[in-house]
Amino acid sequence: MPGEALARIRGIPDIPSITEINVRPIAGTNQDVAFKVLVGMSGQKILDVQPDVEGKNLDGKIYQWFKLQFDGGAIGWVRDDLLEVQGGLSTFGYPDLSELTFAFALTRGTATSTSPAEPTQDASPSGEDSAANQPIQTTTSTAIGQAPQVGTAWQAPGPTTVPIQAPTLASGNFPDAFADTERVRKAAFNMASAFEGGFGAINTYDAGIISYGFLQFTLAAGSLGTVLQNYTNRSQSDTAKGIRGYLERVINRDSLLKNDQNFLGLLRAAANEQEMIDAQGEIGEQGYWKAVVDGYIVQRQLKYPLTWALLFDMGVNFGVNHGFVRLAERDLGVAPRSKPADSGMPEEQLITYVAQLRKRSHDRQAERDNLPGLRKRGDFWMNLVTIGDWYLQGNSAGNVYPNGCAIQALNP
């Protein structure tokens, strides 16, 4: 039996600076990016294959697009010049493959081709993007160094740049995140908000086109439209009436809105209403919190409050399909989505490595683009991991300090 048809994100090996690729909502590049994923991710289930909707080709060979299911359940299309595939591919017009094979080198229904593929516009160097649904990707594992393997001696890395007071309460007296979900959720939301901004925060200078609110919901990804629909269903204020007049353009992701000062003013005014606060909270919980818990935590049975808060913040910062956890599992030599009790690797070791990957991503981007402020977010979470605040107790007053803001971790 050939096995399940699976894909690996190959990227473009000749251009190692490309560490993330775009995933599209259709089999073509004529629509906005749905989300991005890391080069090196593997095990994506192949659901369908279709030719490029615009007939784009290289030397007469039409690009094929693979519909993939990603970790966490997200689905999207990736072009064949960015993929390796294997398994039972006869359903899609390819031969069954026992080994990973460059997808562009295959021809559906006929012999294989050896034509090289040129770099695609759907592959791009990793970059910082604060839009909540536009993930910023890290480097591949080779840039991190040799990862510790299961069963080897291991210690947490030393402190980074901003030491914070270690917890004074006994961790053993605290419930895990499954038993303390509401506290952990509130604390995680508050910590992410400290980096993303308040309910009225607006950003119009990155790939999100317009990013708004305490989790920076974006026009480009569609989450801004979801928030505004939720808000206008709740509120009958003059501000809500004004925003209703823009809903069609928001849903259509009209990029000209970022220059519409009346629209931006309405967004700022709406942030003062409880209906907007509730709308953002509801969409944040459904679109990010639940997606992270269901996609990363439940199957792995990760128990620590710090783990939950860190992975939630990564879902907001990088997108819920960022792939850092899968890369960590691969580098550390454990089965994907395995429970610590089954893999033999402590949760602390896995999540510390995830935090290292994240910090390295921020540090590289800060150095490359001369944006030292980008280091703060990675440093904050690395510090909490380093001091071992796994139950998210904070300092002696119960506080943590994301982005210099005092946030209550014990009683949010």
Averages of pLDDT over runs of 10 residues in the chain (412 residues) are 85 75 88 82 91 84 91 84 92 89 80 38 39 28 35 36 38 76 93 87 82 87 89 95 95 91 95 92 87 90 95 85 84 91 92 91 79 84 91 91 91 90
| Domain end residue (candidates: 90, 125, 160) | 125
Question: Is 186 a domain residue?
Answer: yes
Alpha-carbon distance 168 to 398, whole Å?
Answer: 9
Please check whether residues 371 and 311 belong to one and the same domain: yes
Q: Of 125, 159, 181, which residue sits at a domain end?
A: 125
Please report the pLDDT score of residue 147 as a whole number.
42
Domain boundary among 64, 95, 125: 125
Whether residue 370 lies inside any domain: the answer is: yes
Q: What is the pTM of this model?
A: 0.61
Based on the fold, state whether residues 347 and 383 are members of the same structural domain. yes
* CA 386 – CA 261 distance, rounded (Å): 44
Inter-residue contact 355 to 349 (CB < 8 Å): no
- Does residue 287 sit in the same domain as residue 394? yes
Are 332 and 395 in the same domain?
yes
Q: Which amino acid is at 183?
A: R
* pLDDT of 72: 65
* Number of structural domains in the chain: 2
Biggest distance spanned by C-alpha atoms of the chain: 68
Instruction: Tally DSSP H helices, then E strands, for the chain.
Output: 12, 16
Residue 260, in any domain of the structure: no
Looking at the fold, whether 39 and 102 belong to one and the same domain comes out as: yes
DSSP state of 409: S
Same domain, 158 and 116: no
Same domain, 182 and 65: no
Instruction: Confirm whether 202 is domain-assigned.
Output: no
Positive or negative: CA dihedral 334, 337, 343, 345: positive
Structure tokens at 271: 């942030």
- Exposure of 388 in the CB half-sphere (CA atoms within 13 A): 10
| C-alpha to C-alpha distance for 388 and 386, rounded to whole angstroms | 5
Are both 149 and 91 inside the same structural domain? no
Pair (294, 387) in one structural domain: yes
Same domain, 109 and 191: no
Q: Does one domain contain both 169 and 316? A: yes
Contact between 187 and 402 under an 8 Å Cβ cutoff? The reply is no
Q: Minimal CA–CA distance to 87: which of 6, 23, 173?
A: 6
Q: Which neighbouring-strand residues pair with 64?
A: 51
C-alpha span between 399 and 182 (Å, rounded): 17
Between CA 11 and CA 4 the distance in angstroms is 22
Q: What is the 3-state secondary structure (H, E, C) of 352-363?
A: HHHHHHHHHHHH
Question: How many Å separate Cα 30 from the centre of its chain?
Answer: 23
Q: Establish if 191 belongs to a structural domain.
A: yes
User: Residue 305 is part of which domain span?
Assistant: 141-197+271-408
In a domain, 46, yes or no: yes
Q: Would residue 325 count as lying in a domain? A: yes
183 and 332 assigned to the same domain: yes
Quick check: is 20 in a domain?
yes
Q: How far apart are CA 313 and CA 196, in angstroms?
A: 10
